[in-house]
A and B are shown apart, each in its own frame.
Chain A
């Protein structure tokens, strides 16, 4: 056997057009063996199309796709070592749960007793013991979801593709299933490619996140890297909240850039290339603190515009002297002075740590 590469799926310059619409645009993507990779992006950015090209339901207009070491272009879905969990599950309504799960093994010619045994084991894995004889419509949405998962997992594919599998579930069930999915993925060690437009979901489960926009990948990194060092204003705005300020670089020294913005100057750490000209500076709301005075660096005076209770946290939107606003999310009973008593109109002082500002390409 040849030496296996460390990637399960590779896209090389893949473009997919539907008539005049470019759904996927010159995409390069390497999916590592055993990783949980999320494709994250807003509606219509080409997530499903990318997934369907891996599954074999769509063929790229140009470019190549490798699954393992094999060229996958032109190979029909039923001859690919990948399986899909469909958004609406696509369970066969005329078959029992057990027959649904055993369906793929039957196509492979696995003998009946063995089929049952393996389907049963897959149902146990997703905690659906005792429901083998039911029809799909006799199960709740969450249970149907588990059947769909078991049906794909029982095939022990090289890659498991999931297209917004939790989209139809309510909030609580979603949370539970996120934990469950991650557990199962770690237990079976199969590579997961997970499509979602829910950034929280992507953050909590993924080893890496590919943030997509208009058929391209904007950034592909571990969740904390995408969060802490977003490569563009789009990524920054898509993953979590972000205050952005347009400004001009005045100078760079000692790994710190000084940027003129409307409300004054901001110092942002730089690594690698030195920025110049017009830039965007971003500061995460939770990195902004309420402080007592203006004694110290990175401080600014502002007036509270709105105050929003977020359970254990409070979101403050404050207007600075030049009229631009800064959003802060602070703990309720935390270190910050009297935030619980703040009301719109109050004058406050805001501060952020030296490492908080992020330079984004304008």
Chain B
């Protein structure tokens, strides 16, 4: 085997041995096996071309559309009703329009509702996941996990529409109870929590399942009240799962447009609705693309900030 080949091959580094300091196994992060030391970093080596299918998929499904989106965002919408005509180029005016006052409000409203929805999901989902992990007998656990996932087997659209019927002040349910919140932000919040709850519950449940509960016994033995043991032991040790769960619900919530449309009655504009409108209604693809990219960038910034701050609080790994 000639070494020069290995050194110059551009994608060898992606498939060669893992980095010298491997991240600790998930179990160690979760605190399940405190005695386990870092495993050996030498896995089997595979030829680089094995990555080709995945790379191709990634290029076609992710990179190419993204580049297309960027190209559209920098294009100019031609002023003709005849058809969709674009002049590709380097035009930043679409982005300038995004940060116009009007759309800025929509961004703020979107992130406020997504943040509120995420918070509500955590408040409902964490106790549920905790109950599943600690208080359901191991025989019934699979059944309960299944129950959490079952809503996924029905169309998201139909389930959201069902909420519309449930929350309708003139309908059989909310009407009978004298509740009238359809087409308000409360209805949107309920819809968001309902729609995304399983995405939060499952990763959190998984990290609670991995948790070594004798650590909590250890804390209580040393004088910690149940609440302090929870805050000082359970919470930091299951933080990776909680972080994964919050990100999994916050990001799609911020891009949501079905729920605000159906349960908010269009009165609460989400940035997702704006994007949809630009592509389908107004047929302004360049502007729609610019809004999409702006949303992606802002979300990415949020995610980075969140991950960094959460990791700083408790140093895991090294």
Q: A90-B212, A107-B222 are in contact. Are A77 and B217 (CB under 8 A)?
A: yes
Residues of chain A within 8 A (CB-CB) of B212 are 90
Interface residue B267 (Cβ < 8 Å from any Cβ of A):
no
- Inter-subunit contact A90/B217 (CB<8 Å): yes
- Inter-subunit contact B233/A137 (CB<8 Å): no
Chain B 201-228, CB within 8 Å of chain A: the 1/0 string? 0000000000010110111111111101
Q: How far is the CA of A78 from the CA of B314 in the complex (A)?
A: 25
Q: Which of B24, B214, B224 contacts A107 (CB 8 A)?
A: B224
Interface residue B28 (Cβ < 8 Å from any Cβ of A):
yes
- Inter-subunit contact A89/B34 (CB<8 Å): yes
Interface residue A83 (Cβ < 8 Å from any Cβ of B):
yes
Interface size of B by CB at 8 A reads: 29
Interface size of A by CB at 8 A reads: 27
Interface residue B316 (Cβ < 8 Å from any Cβ of A):
yes
B-binding segment of A6-14, A91-99, A234-242, A328-336: A91-99
Chain B 266-301, CB within 8 Å of chain A: the 1/0 string? 000000000000000000000000000000000000
Residue in chain B with minimal CB distance to A136:
B34
Q: How far is the CA of A76 from the CA of B221 in the complex (A)?
A: 9
Residues of chain B within 8 A (CB-CB) of A136 are 34
Within 8 A of A (CB), among B140-160: none
- Inter-subunit contact B228/A107 (CB<8 Å): yes
- Inter-subunit contact A168/B224 (CB<8 Å): no
Residue in chain A with minimal CB distance to B237:
A94
Q: A78-B225, A103-B219 are in contact. Are A92 and B233 (CB under 8 A)?
A: yes
Interface residue A151 (Cβ < 8 Å from any Cβ of B):
yes
Q: How far is the CA of A83 from the CA of B224 in the complex (A)?
A: 12
Residues of chain B within 8 A (CB-CB) of A91 are 34, 218
Interface residue B31 (Cβ < 8 Å from any Cβ of A):
yes
Q: Which of A57, A92, A93, A107 contacts B223 (CB 8 A)?
A: A107
Interface residue A227 (Cβ < 8 Å from any Cβ of B):
no
Q: How far is the CA of A26 from the CA of B280 in the complex (A)?
A: 78
Interface residue A68 (Cβ < 8 Å from any Cβ of B):
no
- Inter-subunit contact A155/B34 (CB<8 Å): no
Instruction: Tell me the smallest distance from the CB of A14 to a CB of chain B, in Å.
Output: 20
Residues of chain A within 8 A (CB-CB) of B28 are 93, 137
- Inter-subunit contact B220/A94 (CB<8 Å): no
Q: Which of A84, A93, A107 contacts B31 (CB 8 A)?
A: A93
- Inter-subunit contact A90/B236 (CB<8 Å): no
- Inter-subunit contact B215/A78 (CB<8 Å): no
- Inter-subunit contact A168/B221 (CB<8 Å): no
Instruction: Tell me the smallest distance from the CB of A257 to a CB of chain B, in Å.
Output: 50
- Inter-subunit contact A93/B221 (CB<8 Å): no
Interface residue A141 (Cβ < 8 Å from any Cβ of B):
yes
Residues of chain A within 8 A (CB-CB) of B232 are 103
Q: How far is the CA of A76 from the CA of B35 in the complex (A)?
A: 28
Instruction: Tell me the smallest distance from the CB of A179 to a CB of chain B, in Å.
Output: 23
Q: How far is the CA of A45 from the CA of B138 in the complex (A)?
A: 25
Instruction: Tell me the smallest distance from the CB of B81 to a CB of chain A, in Å.
Output: 63
Interface residue B186 (Cβ < 8 Å from any Cβ of A):
no
Interface residue A88 (Cβ < 8 Å from any Cβ of B):
yes
- Inter-subunit contact A92/B218 (CB<8 Å): yes
Instruction: Tell me the smallest distance from the CB of B39 to a CB of chain A, in Å.
Output: 12
Residue in chain B with minimal CB distance to A81:
B223
Residue in chain A with minimal CB distance to B213:
A90
Within 8 A of A (CB), among B9-31: 24, 28, 31
- Inter-subunit contact A88/B219 (CB<8 Å): no
Residues of chain A within 8 A (CB-CB) of B37 are 137
Interface residue A144 (Cβ < 8 Å from any Cβ of B):
yes
Interface residue B134 (Cβ < 8 Å from any Cβ of A):
no
Residue in chain A with minimal CB distance to B29:
A93
Instruction: Tell me the smallest distance from the CB of A165 to a CB of chain B, in Å.
Output: 13
Q: Which of A83, A103, A107, A137 contacts B34 (CB 8 A)?
A: A137
Interface residue A300 (Cβ < 8 Å from any Cβ of B):
no
- Inter-subunit contact B217/A86 (CB<8 Å): yes
Q: A88-B35, A168-B35 are in contact. Are A78 and B214 (CB under 8 A)?
A: no
- Inter-subunit contact A151/B34 (CB<8 Å): no
Residues of chain A within 8 A (CB-CB) of B228 are 107
Residue in chain B with minimal CB distance to A148:
B218
Instruction: Tell me the smallest distance from the CB of A247 to a CB of chain B, in Å.
Output: 49
Residues of chain A within 8 A (CB-CB) of B24 are 137
Q: A92-B219, A93-B237 are in contact. Are A137 and B214 (CB under 8 A)?
A: no
Interface residues of chain A, those whose CB is within 8 Å of chain B, are 55, 57, 76-78, 83-84, 86, 88-94, 103-104, 107-108, 136-137, 141, 144, 151-152, 155, 168
CB<8 Å pairs between A and B, sample of 18: A77-B221, A78-B220, A78-B226, A88-B34, A90-B214, A92-B31, A92-B215, A93-B31, A93-B215, A93-B237, A94-B236, A94-B237, A94-B314, A108-B223, A136-B34, A137-B24, A144-B35, A155-B223
Across the A-B interface, the 10 shortest Cβ-Cβ residue pairs: A104-B222, A90-B218, A107-B223, A77-B220, A93-B31, A93-B34, A90-B214, A84-B221, A78-B220, A107-B224
**Can you name 12 extra interface pairs (CB under 8 A) apart from A86-B214, A90-B212, A107-B222?**
A55-B221, A77-B220, A88-B35, A88-B214, A90-B214, A90-B217, A92-B233, A103-B232, A104-B223, A137-B38, A151-B222, A168-B35
